[in-house]
Structures are given as structure tokens and as C-alpha cells.
Amino acid sequence: MAKPPNGIGRSSMPRSNEGMRLIFSAVVGVMLGYLFGISFPTVNITKLHFPSSIISYIEDRNSGITTQTLLNHAWASANNRKKNNSDSNSDEIPKIYVPTNPKGAERLPPGIVVSETDLYPRRLWGDPSEDLTSEPRYLVTFTVGIGQKANIDAAVKKFSDKFTIMLFHYDGRTTEWDEFEWSKRAIHVSVMKQTKWWYAKRFLHPDVVARYDYIFIWDEDLGVEHFNAEKYIELVRKHGLEISQPGLQPDRGLTWQMTKRRGDREVHKVTEERPGWCTDPHLPPCAAFVEIMATVFSRNAWRCVWHMIQNDLVHGWGLDFALRKCVEPAHEKIGVVDAQWIVHQAVPSLGNQGKSDNGKAPWEGVRARCRKEWGIFQTRLADAEKAYYLEQGITPPNSTAV
């Protein structure tokens, strides 16, 4: 028999071994693929959300992004979604809502809400708890121009370090006051040609001055030779006055009998006026009345009065007749302190900040505005009270005028 050519039998052996290796590799690959597949979390490609930057890369043929990068991102997205789904099934952290908090702060825990502030200056360094060496209990404000600098210096010296001193500058000149040592500790607010009630409405909100037991809102032209602030407060407390003023020296700058100093008493709360001026002995100007030149308010009374001050009626005329709306009984809680008295010097310095018009002096335009504001305020208050009564189904009184 002829022998097969050399090498034919030997060459079949490697082919057989190579086939076996391929089969073995395929089986192993299938098994590994199965094991890998069951361990990989289920991912719905349609639910994967790729960032716009990734999508732009995919759309850009030249981006060079690799399949491995996309898979890594898919894996991370799937894990995050799984974690979020797990979190949503757990108990959610309860949201904070406290309806008794101040308006706008309902979502804050009450322990972090600070609804009031103060006018105490603080340091820029150190421990905050060590900032204040004293906390004044009273506030006195003066609306000032530089022309009354000497008078204000004398007045401020009548107030001890238990008072915060605040100056409202209607002429814009503040640095000239630095010659006084007390001025360096005072609070200065400067806006040109504004009145004290304009300042008070904007800078003396009740939540800003809540630390003070009493708030003095005074003019600049007051003589204080016979006045002591702390003795004044003693008398106010003794006689239960929520709104008050010092008595005025009888022969200087006097408009109303109620504000005239009585030399035989500490305090008075009623007076007699000209015939026909007082329809009720318990109503202004015979009682429940002080003027607005040197008014002193308790904390609680000021919280009410502040809300009654109108934004556009800057002179405050008519306010003195309406102060009684804020305390009850007004004829007992509004009065004049005779034992601590002042002099109204009647200096028309703020009036001179007006504008000349049609040959009239600046102060004449200011005075005309004051009278107009008084009428507007009377009308507003009467209309507001009437609207309230009607809303409540109550017949309005015959007169609610201030």
C-alpha cells in the first residue's frame, strides 16, 4: 500500500486542537457573559438621561468619545437613579412651617428667628457676646441743622449714658458735629430737607427700637435748662403716662393751654381751653393731648403711633389730636410733666429749608403744606374709621374727626 505524503497526518492534529480551543473559549465566554449579565443592574437605555454636553459629544463625530466613557456614565446614572428611588421610598425629612412666625419667616425654625433688632453699635472683632459694655434703655432723637449745634449740645448733655443719642440731619452736614465727644457715640442719619416724622417712619420702626422703654422724638429748638431726663422718666412712670411731653414755659412759644406748665404740681392731664374748643372734657385739646414738638412715647404706645404715621404726610400735623387712639383711657395715659419743663424757642430753621415761590418766603410754603397735611390726615382717619364700622355692621358715630 502506498504511504500518504509526509506531513498530512501531523497537520490534522493542530487543526483539531485549534477547534477545541475555539469551542472552549466560546463556552467560557457565554458563561462569563451570563454571570456578568445577572450581576449588572437592569438599565433601560431609554430612561438614561445624559447631560447635554455628553449628547453634543455623541453628535460630534470628531469628539473622540469612547464607548467605555458612555458605559461608565450609564452605570453612574443607573446607580444614582436606583439610589434616588430607594430614598423616595424612605421617610422624607418633614418640612418646617410655623404660621406664628413673622410674615415671610414661616419656613424657619422659631429658634433662629430674630424679629427685633436694636441700635447698639458693635465691634468688628472679638467675641460678639462681649461687644456691649452697656445697653441703653432709652432713645432720644433730634432732627437738626448745623445752625442749632450749640443748642443741641446743651440738650444732649441733659441725657445720661442710659440714652442712645440719634441725630437726623436735614441739612446734610454731619462732620461738623465731631467736635463734641458725645457725637462720636451718637447715631447720625442724613437725608436732605426731611422732617422728623419722615425720619421716624423710616428709621424708628417699632421692631428696631423695641429695646427702649421710652422714645423721645424732639425738635431742635428746645431750651432744657430746667430739664433732667432721668427725673422726667421717674415722673412718667409714677403717673402712668404712655404719651407725654415736658411742660412749656408759659411766656414762650405757647399754642395750647394743655401744654402750659403748671407751677404747683408734678403732672397735669386736663385743662380748660377757649370756649367751644372742647366738645368733651376728656378729648383734645382739653385732655388726651400733647403737642408733637417734644413728645415722649412708651414702647407700647410707639408701636401703635408708628403705624398711624402716613408716609406722605411728613409734617405730622393732626397727629397730636389722634394720639389718643393708641392708649386707653387716653385722658389718664396722656399728660404733661410740669416738674420737668422746657422752653420752646420757636426757631423756624426747618421752615427755611423750603422753597421760595411766587415771591413768598420759604417758610410760607412749608406752613401751607403743614395746614394741607392736617386736613388730609383728618379726612383719612375719619374715612378709615367709617369704613371699619360699616364693615363690622355698626352704624358709624356722628363724628370721628381728630
For position 66, what pLDDT does the model report? 54
> Which stretches in the chain have pLDDT values below 70?
1-22, 24-90, 252-253, 351-352, 399-402
For position 143, what pLDDT does the model report? 96
- Cell numbers found for residue 146: 448745623
Distance CA 150, CA 272 (A): 36
168 touches 144 (CB < 8 A): yes
For position 295, what pLDDT does the model report? 98
Closest CA to 295 of 331, 344, 262, 363: 344
CATH architecture of 131-348: Alpha-Beta Complex (3.90)
Amino acid at 161: D
Q: Give SS3 for 183.
A: helix
46: which DSSP letter?
A: G
List pLDDT tens digits, range 128-182.
Answer: 999 999 999 999 999 999 999 999 999 999 999 999 999 999 999 999 999 999 9
For position 377, what pLDDT does the model report? 98
For position 5, what pLDDT does the model report? 45
158 touches 182 (CB < 8 A): no
For position 72, what pLDDT does the model report? 62
Q: Give SS3 for 286.
A: coil
In 354-379, which positions are buried (b, 16+ CB within 10 angstroms) versus exposed (e)? beeeeeeeebebbbeebeebbeebbe
pTM above 0.85, yes or no: no
- The residue extents of the domains of the chain are 131-348
For position 353, what pLDDT does the model report? 72
Distance CA 269, CA 36 (A): 96
Residue by residue, DSSP assigns 57-68 as HHH-GGG---HH
